[in-house]
Amino acid sequence: MSNERIGFVGLGMMGLPMARNLVEAGYAVTVFDLNEATVNSAKEFGASSTDSAAETAAQSDIIITMVPDSHHVEAVIIGQNGILEGLKAGSVVIDMSTIDPEMGKKMAKLIEAQGSNFVDAPVTGGVIGAEAGTLSILVGGNAEAFERALPVLNVLGGNVSHMGPVGSGHTTKIANQIIGAAALAGVAEAFVLAKKSGLDMQAFFNAVKDGAGRSWALETLGPKILDGDFSPGFMVKHMQKDLRLADQLAAKTGTSIPISGLIAQLYRSVQASSSDADSQGHQALVQAIELLSNEQARG
């Protein structure tokens, strides 16, 4: 194993188990997060902590960021007490958030100006994948930076793909989210239709789960929908953010994504349904179809 020292900024639902996996793999990991409880959890499994992203960067050779949105990445890298203030020449910053590719490119230029490298490496696979270390990781960056980051990424994921230069990882993740959202919308419609047509829902699920409609959404989220389980592995607000990024990228490239726009509106209906809807699991999309159909797709 490499003796690279790892800094980890952002200990949310994904980041905390990812940091744990790095500690368990033998890496020295220093963490920073504004949430004291998650920092304490990280210290319990062997990480050390600092009082700022700048201090974390100063103590690390490879710094990982895992935060919700583009402006959060900008803040933790170039904001007050941000990574850039403590970054040593020769370091690598790996952003594993899902953000606007242009923001990643902007961060890369600033980091490269200080003699370090930037890699965008967003992930897919949810909390289950983060905990198990089986995430799919979509990487953008130069070949040298990718090879240096690869041993660390291999701890966190089971499938690491180098997609091209900086920005390619973020772009791949946005396109991936379009696929995931469309598959989930199909599951939601099918479940409500089956239920309203009088089918036994468990029998329906068992019959279709290995057929042509097989997908991660059906296999992983289908049983949760049948149980009425809307606990988050990936939150409604984060899927809505990813669809916003998709809309922005589509506008920039002149791409038509009408299905994604409709799904974003369905999510908006879910978000308007209650004060805590934003924090439900993104399988709550089914609630919009249920409302329109006057039927619940529960087993």
Task: Dump the DSSP string for 176-204.
Answer: HHHHHHHHHHHHHHHHHHHHHTT--HHHH
Query: Residue 68: its pLDDT value, please?
Result: 96
Whole-model pTM: value is: 0.95
Could you tell me which residues come within 8 angstroms of residue 34 by beta carbon, excluding any fewer than 6 positions away?
none
Task: Supply the range of the domain harboring residue 11.
Answer: 6-164
CB 297 within 8 A of CB 201: yes
pLDDT 10s digits, 36-82 = 999 999 999 999 999 999 999 999 999 999 999 999 999 999 999 99
Q: What percent of the chain has pLDDT over 90?
A: 98
Give 214-247 pLDDT, tens digit per residue.
999 999 999 999 999 999 999 999 999 999 999 9
Judge whether 173 counts as a catalytic residue.
yes
pLDDT tens digits, one per residue of 146-179: 999 999 999 999 999 999 999 999 999 999 999 9
C-alpha distances (whole Å) from 184 to each of 23, 33, 233, 274 are 34, 32, 14, 21
Report the alpha-carbon distance of residue 129 to residue 203 in Å, rounded: 28
> How confident is the model at residue 299, as a pLDDT?
79
pLDDT of residue 2 exceeding 80, the answer is no
Are residues 267 and 243 in contact, defined by beta-carbon separation less than 8 angstroms?
A: yes
Determine the distance from the C-alpha atom of residue 159 to the mean position of all C-alpha atoms in its chain, rounded to a whole number. 15
Mean pLDDT of 181-201: 98
pLDDT averaged over every residue in the chain? 97
Structure tokens at 205: 């699920």
Which of 106, 173, 195, 237 is catalytic? The answer is 173
The packing angle between helices 286-293 and 258-271, to 10°, is: 80
- Pick the last residue of a domain from 131, 164, 197: 164
| Domain containing residue 24: CATH number | 3.40.50.720
pLDDT recorded at residue 201: 98
How far is 80 from 128, CA to CA, in rounded Å? 33
The answer to the question of residue 299 being in a domain is no
| Same domain as 31, residue 155 | yes
Maximum CA extent, the chain: 64
Same domain, yes or no: 37 and 160: yes
My answer on whether 180 and 112 are in the same domain is no
Which residues lie closer than 8 Å to 20 by C-beta, 6 or more apart?
42, 45
The CATH number of residue 266's host domain is: 1.10.1040.10
Indicate the burial class of 27 (C-beta count within 10 angstroms; 0-12, 13-18, 19 or more).
Answer: buried
pLDDT at position 3 is 87
- Number of Cβ within 10 Å of residue 229's Cβ equals 13
Q: How far apart are CA 221 and CA 229, in angstroms?
A: 9
- Helix or strand holding residue 49 (H, E): strand 48-49
3-class SS at 111?
A: helix
Residue ending a domain, among 164, 198, 226, is 164
Based on the fold, state whether residues 51 and 12 are members of the same structural domain: yes
Query: Looking at residues 19-48, what average pLDDT do you find?
Result: 98
Distance CA 139, CA 109 (A): 17
Which among 122, 145, 164 is the end of a domain?
Answer: 164
Q: Which tens digit of pLDDT belongs to each residue from 279-290?
A: 999 999 999 999
Q: How many CA atoms lie within 13 A of 77 on its CB side?
A: 30
* pLDDT over 90 (residue 1): no
Count: domains in the chain? 2
Q: Is the pLDDT of residue 109 over 70?
A: yes
